[in-house]
Amino acid sequence: MADEKLQRLEIVTPERKVYTEDVRMAVLPGSEGEFGVLPDHAALVSALKIGVIRVHHEGKVFKITVSGGFVEVRDSKVTVLANSAEREDQIDQERAAAAKERAEQRLAAPGPEIDVARAEVALKRALNRLNAVG
């Protein structure tokens, strides 16, 4: 596999650079559905929804969660600008489960002080993180 063609994948958030590496393939959660990107892919820009990026690197597949954002593909470089992103090996499963529980409680008994849309997004993010690790 020494001559395998690779592309640069860079995932950044407003706070930090989450991942930068040459990879074989990335599967991204586009706003209209998942799509895969291989080296020499046609140029594109797409919105991302809450989901998991599956990264194919050195014969392994690992996951990076994103909570929306945008992706640009150009010249065998995939640049993800995410609202937030987290590698699966850095996800605190207990914290994600607690966030899921809080969101479910807010949605089960909404009151005037509860922002239902915000609670729904929090639930989706927590479920996404839990799905990535298990």
Say if residue 33 is in the same domain as residue 83: yes
Instruction: Express as a percent the part of the chain with pLDDT over 90.
Output: 76
pLDDT at position 113 is 82
Binned at pLDDT 50, 70 and 90, residue 3 comes out as low
Q: What is the pLDDT of residues 75-85, one digit of tens each?
A: 999 999 999 99
Determine the structural domain holding residue 60 and report its residue range. Answer: 7-88
What torsion do the CA atoms of 36, 45, 32, 55 make, to the nearest 10 degrees? 30
Q: What is the pLDDT of residues 54-79, one digit of tens each?
A: 999 999 999 999 999 999 999 999 99
- CB 39, CB 5: distance < 8 Å: yes
Say if residue 13 is in the same domain as residue 79: yes
Residue 71 lies in a domain: yes
User: Taking the model in full, what pTM does it have?
Assistant: 0.85
